[in-house]
């Protein structure tokens, strides 16, 4: 059984999508980052960096934080969506790191300065908007010759999709018209049942054969065995 500590952010949705794809049973513990749950001692005992998501694998009595590390761990646990041959694994890992180091941080900064900054800083908005478009172009060129980012469907797609999907929302307000291969990939991803369920975590319409909400959302329950 996997305990998933998460919230409705792009990073927070990644493990839920993968758990659905792998058909692993999991329990969702809501960490409301708007209320500061991530800074409570109970959660910091799981992730000292006070970020979601994090997981506890009760089968191995192991906790893991950082979304990329979680995806690698779960894929290896199930033996799916991460190739075992050297070349295939390297390709997935490089695109996973591309998301972790570039897509997530740059898209996130654009969203922050576009929506949450106390004052509108034109330079910051333009800088991160321009970088977001550049990264979408990188993805578009990769997807021109591949159905999925690393060739076959993998954790690289699962890591990247929630962030690119956010580009089409008012939060980022990015049109994908100039990136037809990315747009095609987004629509393909949206049709996957596991993606649909994973994106709906903590929403009223959440319905899963593998995941359930914890009885209590209190972080006081985080360290119970």
Residue range 123-159, pLDDT digits in tens = 999 999 999 999 999 999 999 999 999 999 999 999 9
Whether 219 has a pLDDT exceeding 70, the answer reads no
Provide the mean pLDDT of the chain: 94
pLDDT at 211: 97
State the pLDDT at residue 2.
98
Greater confidence, 221 or 8? 8
Query: What percent of the chain has pLDDT above 70?
Result: 96
Sign of the torsion angle spanned by Cα atoms 170, 174, 175, 180: negative
Structural contact between residues 174 and 132, judged by C-beta atoms closer than 8 angstroms: yes
Please say if the pLDDT value at position 68 is more than 50: yes
Q: 201 exposed, middle or buried (CB, 10 Å; 0-12, 13-18, 19+)?
A: buried
With 50 as the cut, is the pLDDT of residue 3 above it?
Answer: yes
Q: Is the model's pLDDT at 184 over the cut of 50?
A: yes
The pLDDT value recorded for residue 14 is 98
pLDDT band for position 92 (cuts 50, 70, 90): very high
pLDDT at residue 224 is higher than 50: no
The pLDDT assigned to 222 comes to 55
SS3 (DSSP) at 148:
strand
Residue ranges of E strands in the chain: 2-6, 26-30, 54-57, 62-65, 211-213
Confidence of residue 189 (pLDDT cuts 50, 70, 90): very high
- pLDDT digits over 24-63, tens only? 999 999 999 999 999 999 999 999 999 999 999 999 999 9
Confidence grade of residue 225 (pLDDT, cut at 50, 70, 90): very low
* Structural domains of the chain sorted by starting position, each given as residue range(s) with its CATH number in brackets: 2-80+196-221 (3.40.30.10), 86-193 (1.20.1050.10)
Q: What is the pLDDT of residue 173?
A: 87
- Asked whether residue 17 carries a pLDDT value surpassing 50, the answer given is yes
CB 140 within 8 A of CB 195: no
Phi, psi (rounded to 5 degrees) for 72: -60, -45
Q: At what angle are helices 155-167 and 10-22 packed, to 10 degrees?
A: 140
């Amino acid at each position: 059984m996997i305990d998933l500590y998460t919230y409705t952010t792009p990073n927070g949705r990644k493990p839920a999508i993968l758990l659905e794809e792998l058909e692993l049973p999991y329990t969702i513990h809501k960490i409301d980052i708007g209320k500061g749950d991530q800074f409570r001692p109970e959660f910091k005992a799981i992730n000292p960096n006070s970020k979601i998501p994090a997981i506890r694998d009760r089968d191995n009595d192991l906790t893991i934080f950082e979304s990329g590390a979680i995806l690698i761990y779960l894929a290896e646990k199930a033996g799916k969506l991460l190739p075992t041959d050297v070349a295939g694994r390297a390709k997935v890992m490089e695109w996973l790191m591309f998301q972790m180091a570039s897509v997530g941080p740059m898209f996130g900064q654009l969203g922050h300065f576009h929506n949450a900054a106390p004052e509108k800083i034109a330079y910051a908005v333009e800088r991160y908007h321009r970088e977001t478009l550049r990264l979408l172009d990188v993805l578009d060129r990769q997807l021109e010759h591949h159905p999925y980012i690393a060739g076959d469907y993998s954790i690289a797609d699962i890591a990247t999709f929630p962030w690119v999907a956010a580009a089409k929302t008012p939060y980022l307000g990015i049109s994908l018209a100039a990136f037809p291969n990315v747009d095609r990939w987004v629509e393909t991803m949206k049709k996957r049942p596991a993606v649909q369920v994973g994106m709906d975590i903590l929403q009223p319409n959440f319905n899963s054969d593998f995941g359930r909400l914890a009885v209590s959302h209190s972080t006081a329950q985080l360290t119970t065995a």
